[in-house]
Chain A
Amino acid sequence: MKSQIAIGSRKKAGLIKIAKSTSEAISLCKEYFNTDVAGFQVEAILIEELVTIQQEYYCSIALDASGRQFYLIASKEGGIDIEEVSKTTPDAILKESFSFQDGVSEALANDIACRLGFSGKQIDAASQIFLKLWNITLKLEAQLVEINPLVMTPSGLIAVDGKMILDDDTAFRQPLVEKLQERKLSDLEKLARVAGFSFVELSGEIGILANGAGLTMALLDVLSELGLHPANFLDVGGGASKERVYKALELIFKLHPKAVLVNIFGGITRCDIVARAIIQALEDFSDAPPMVIRLTGTNEKEGIALLKQANISAYQDVMEAVKKVKEVLNE
């Protein structure tokens, strides 16, 4: 009985077990559905017939993104410890690269099947599986298609478990991706997706609104090095409208942070628009936490002037703004 949950190493987490009777199966279902691993819940349970395993194999097709190619990967030592195998005995893992244009050829599939130790009719059975992996990769535009373990039973090869990594950006032409996209997100993260910005909930006390993923991450690094804890990651995106910034602030306020730090480097984003959204949000939310604002780039003078008129202090220098946040928290 296999829990369907969006994490790896399920067996080690006690989420794959064998039921020997109906009553055992029922109690396992209850147990699984009450399990929470790292914030993920079991969404469904796959129940399969128990098979007699003679040998466990590993096989996958993986995209090597920075190498702009694919790998067909296979091993005789499949199963739950494949990560360990790749570290301790990398020679036990067969790995062949190929281009998108070439794909998995029959020759490559046969070669890997032979080197895995298959013989006779088994070679063809295994190589057919590798060719099918490539068909799935192409059809779903997957970055990983993995069977682990692929097992030899008295009646032949069976794929006992599998995993895929799909591309979010194909949602417009891959219905499966569109359907799966919402599942890993917290409720607030779902709200953010609809509003069009990247948002990750963290556990600290400082709400963050920034623009640019890299700049936002750098800001979180600086804060954590100073012993300050961000409540979230929020990249409001390029060219944000007043409505989008306002929505982002609304979302951050829902986390009940002790302070909010806004860090905007205006390129396409205009500082005056950001300032207007902040002023509006502070008017509408009387219980809003103290805000520290840093604005620089496009229309920064206009933005800072607007904030001053509304009695909100703004900084052009990041480190000054960070210091101010620390002061606010100590008050």
Chain B
Amino acid sequence: MYINEDSKVVVQGITGRQGMFHTQLMLEYGTDIVAGVTPGKGGQEIYEVPVFNDVKEAIKETRADTSIIFVPARFTLSAAMESLNAGINMTCIITENVPVFDMIQLTEKAREKGLHLIGPNCPGMLIPDKIKLGIMPSDMCHYGDIAVISKSGTLSYEITKAIGNRGIGVSAYVGIGGDPVRGTTMKEAVAYYSKDSNTKVIVLIGEIGSDEEEKTAEFIKDNVSKPIIAYIAGKSAPKGKRMGHAGAIISGDFGTANGKIKALKEARALIANTPWEVPQLIKEIL
């Protein structure tokens, strides 16, 4: 989504432990990382990638058009603002624990400029065999025609790997993240892949909390004819207790696993009862 094998990537926070580690893994995958940014560390090189002091300079020297952010939560607002202000087309925020008000400001800025954000607290995006913009395992699957859109990280690795193990290919893996305010919502990702000619089936991986799945189901009803398969985690979760993700707290009548499953069923989505049922459902549709 908004990225392809020609995307030129700048890694913000490339000199940090996570930034450096995942730069190496993304380079091994074949991602075209053209620059890194760490304020005050311009002039260095990380795995032969030149480091700049800011995103503008990186764009000027390398024509970067895509960014991935690994900076700590308290610096994420300024790092992502810098990326948006420099005109980067897609900014992917891996960082977790980013304050909600920071994300509100960033999403408003992105909309104003017509640019794209994904995350925070997300594994990023993968177009198998083409580009990896994120921290997901590299060996889950090969290229094909199933789009996987997920709120959860590890759970989506499990499902995507199970899909890959059955010899089914993936057109895009999109980890939208588990935080309440997202750069890309589940509905927006579904809207994109419902029009993507390389995608035949969309797999949604949701979990308790927020009303993303309900809003997505509402959208699917009137706008999507492609088959949708969904798995929702948290059916057994106790009410009112947090299960790790800020978004995963049940409030009011929406946000429960059963509510989401009901809404998705009404939108004619097929529901997988366990994560490991997803590949079987795909096989049946294909």
Say if A and B assemble together: yes
A contact residues around B67 at 8 Å (CB): none
- A141 near B233 with CB under 8 A, answer no
Check if A143 sits within 8 Å of B108, measured CB to CB: no
When chains A and B are docked, how far (Å) is the Cα of A297 from the Cα of B162?
12
State in angstroms the CA–CA spacing of A172 and B77 once bound together.
14
Q: Note all chain A residues with C-beta closer than 8 A to B104.
A: 63, 68, 100
> What A residues does B151 contact at CB under 8 A?
214
CA distance A168 to B151 in the complex (A): 20
Whether the pair A169, B97 counts as a contact (CB closer than 8 A) is: yes
* Central interface residue in A63, A68, A211, A214, by most chain B CB within 10 Å: A214
Q: Is B270 interfacial (CB-CB < 8 Å)?
A: no
Minimum CB–CB distance from A257 to chain B (whole Å) comes to 16
Task: Indicate with 1 or 0, residue by residue over A114-128, a CB within 8 angstroms of chain B CB atoms.
Answer: 000000000000000
Contact of B245 among A83, A213, A230, A267 (CB under 8 A): A213
Q: For A143, what are the chain B residues with a Cβ–Cβ distance below 8 Å?
A: 100, 180
Contact of A233 among B156, B161, B244, B247 (CB under 8 A): B244
Partner of B236, one of A212, A224, A267: A224
B101 to A198, Cβ gap below 8 A? no
Interface size on B, residues (CB 8 A): 59
Q: Are A68 and B108 in contact (CB under 8 A)?
A: yes
Residues of B190-240 whose CB lies within 8 A of A: 205, 207-208, 210-212, 215, 231, 233-238
Most buried by B among A63, A66, A296: A66
Q: Is the CB of A265 within 8 A of B236?
A: no
B100 contacts A65, CB within 8 Å?
yes
Q: Is A160 an interface residue (CB 8 A)?
A: no
Judged by a CB distance under 8 angstroms, whether A77 is at the interface is no
Is B98 an interface residue, CB under 8 A from the partner? yes
Are A214 and B100 within 8 A (Cβ)? no
Interface string of A266-288 (1 = CB under 8 A from B): 11100000000000000000000
B64 to chain A minimum Cβ distance, whole angstroms, is: 25
With A214-B154, A220-B237, A267-B154 known as contacts, the answer to whether A65 contacts B136 (CB < 8 A) is no
CA distance A83 to B242 in the complex (A): 22
Chain A residues with Cβ below 8 Å from B74 are: 172-173
Within 8 Å of chain A (Cβ to Cβ): is B137?
yes
Closest to B109 in A: A101
B285 at the interface (CB under 8 A from A): no
B120 to chain A: closest residue by CB:
A169
Distance in Å from the Cβ of B51 to the closest Cβ of chain A?
Answer: 23
Neighbouring A residues of B252 by C-beta, 8 Å: 83
Dominant secondary structure of chain B at its interface with chain A: loop
Docked pose: A220 CA to B234 CA in angstroms: 8
- Contact residues in A for B50 (Cβ distance below 8 Å): none
Complex contact A141–B101 (CB within 8 A): yes
* Residues of chain A within 8 A of B181, CB atoms compared: 63, 65-66, 68
Nearest-neighbour CB distance to chain A for B111, whole angstroms, equals 8
A53: B residues at CB distance < 8 A: none
The proximity string for A residues 1-20 relative to B, scoring 1 for CB distances below 8 Å and 0 otherwise, is 00000000000000000000
In whole angstroms, what is the CA distance A143 to B245 when docked?
Answer: 16
Which interface residue of A65, A167, A223 has the most chain B CB atoms within 10 A?
A65
Given contacts A65-B100, A66-B210, A167-B99, contact A200 B241 (CB under 8 A): yes
Scoring B residues 37 to 69 as 1 if CB is less than 8 Å from chain A, else 0, what string do you get? 000000000000000000000000000000000
Please name all residues of chain B whose beta carbon is closer than 8 Å to the beta carbon of A141 when the two chains form the complex. 99-101
Give chain A residues whose Cβ lies under 8 Å from the Cβ of B99: 141, 167, 169-170, 173
Give B213 Cβ to nearest chain A Cβ, in Å: 10
Q: Of B158, B242, B257, B273, which contacts A265 at CB under 8 A?
A: B158
Do A212 and B153 touch (CB < 8 A)? yes
Nearest B residue (CB) for A100 = B104
Given contacts A66-B215, A68-B181, are A218 and B233 in contact (CB under 8 A)?
Answer: yes
Name the A residues within 8 Å of B245 (CB-CB): 213-214
Interface residues on A, range: 35 or more
Contact A319 B152 (CB under 8 A): no
Q: Tell me whether A169 and B244 are in contact in the complex, defined as CB-CB below 8 angstroms, given that A297-B157, A319-B276 are known contacts.
A: no
B105 at the interface (CB under 8 A from A): yes
Q: Which of A208-234 contact B (CB under 8 A)?
A: 211-218, 220-225, 230, 233
Docked complex Cα distance between A87 and B254 (Å): 12
Counting CB contacts under 8 A, is A146 at the interface? no
CB distance from B253 to the nearest CB of A (A): 8
Contact A63–B100 (Cβ < 8 Å): yes
Cβ–Cβ < 8 Å partners of A202 in chain B: 238
Decide: A217 and B237 in contact? CB cutoff 8 A.
yes
Please report the C-alpha to C-alpha distance between residue A284 and residue B158 in the assembled complex, in whole angstroms: 32
Is A222 touching B274 in the complex (CB atoms < 8 A)? yes
A305 to B94, CA, bound (A): 32
Q: Which of B116-135 contact A (CB under 8 A)?
A: 123, 135
Give chain B residues whose Cβ lies under 8 Å from the Cβ of A172.
Answer: 73-74
Shortest Cβ gap from A294 to chain B (Å): 11
A83 CA to B251 CA, complexed, in Å: 12
Among A101, A213, A267, A268, point to the contact of B243 (Cβ < 8 A).
A213
Q: Which residues of A contact B153 (CB under 8 A)?
A: 212-214, 238, 267
How would residues 249 to 267 of chain B score, 1 for a CB under 8 Å from any chain A CB and 0 otherwise?
0001100010000000000
Question: For A99, A143, A169, which residue has the most chain B Cβ atoms within 10 angstroms?
Answer: A169
Contacts beyond the supplied A167-B100, A215-B157: 5 A-B pairs with Cβ under 8 Å: A63-B100, A169-B99, A215-B152, A215-B158, A230-B236
A-B contact pairs, 11 of them (CB 8 A): A65-B100, A198-B243, A211-B154, A213-B207, A213-B245, A214-B156, A214-B245, A217-B237, A222-B274, A233-B243, A266-B137
Q: Which 5 A-B pairs have the closest CB atoms?
A: A212-B154, A214-B152, A213-B244, A214-B155, A65-B180
